[in-house]
Amino acid sequence: MKNDVLNSHKLGYKFYFQDGDNQIACFGHIMSGKEKIYVNDELVSEKRSFGFKSHHDFSYQGNTYAVKFEMQNILTGKLECSFYKADKLVKQSTQTSLTDNPKQVALVTLGCFIGGAISGYAVVTFIEPFLGK
């Protein structure tokens, strides 16, 4: 791409596919669920998705395309992106926000749980004097 539009996007998955001279760039934001599909730096599809699967259909220069996102593993953040041209699978790619190492996933999960417990305790301790007994 001449100007990679995905360089400005943070906290997300970035997938790239090639169809002849056209580069298809796909972005999915981790927190907001915002998904964007670009062909040669031109935005062709955009939507917000909070499910485990999403689908983008678009046309470009007389061709029909589709991009499908599917969350494979919510704990590791493993996301599969499939690129279709004229209803035929061209390529699939997978990314993960965490490693597939179960020990590391368990450690991150435990850290989040402990951090949440400490934050919850602090909030309750701070609010309780204002509520009274």
CATH of 5-98, one of 2.40.128.180, 3.40.630.30, 3.40.50.300, 3.40.50.620: 2.40.128.180
pLDDT in tens, 88-120: 999 999 988 766 677 877 887 888 899 999 999
3-state SS of 89-125 is EEEEEEECCCCCCHHHHHHHHHHHHHHHHHHHHHHHH
The H or E element spanning position 67 is strand 63-73
Give percent of the chain with pLDDT exceeding 90.
55
pLDDT of residue 7: 55
Name 57's Cβ contacts closer than 8 Å, sequence gap at least 6: 45, 64, 65, 66
Give percent of the chain with pLDDT exceeding 70.
89
pLDDT in tens, 70-95: 999 887 788 999 999 999 999 999 98
pTM, full prediction:
0.69
Would you kindly state where each structural domain of the chain is located, as residue ranges?
Answer: 5-98, 101-133
74 against 24, higher pLDDT: 24
75 against 42, higher pLDDT: 42
pLDDT of residue 36: 95
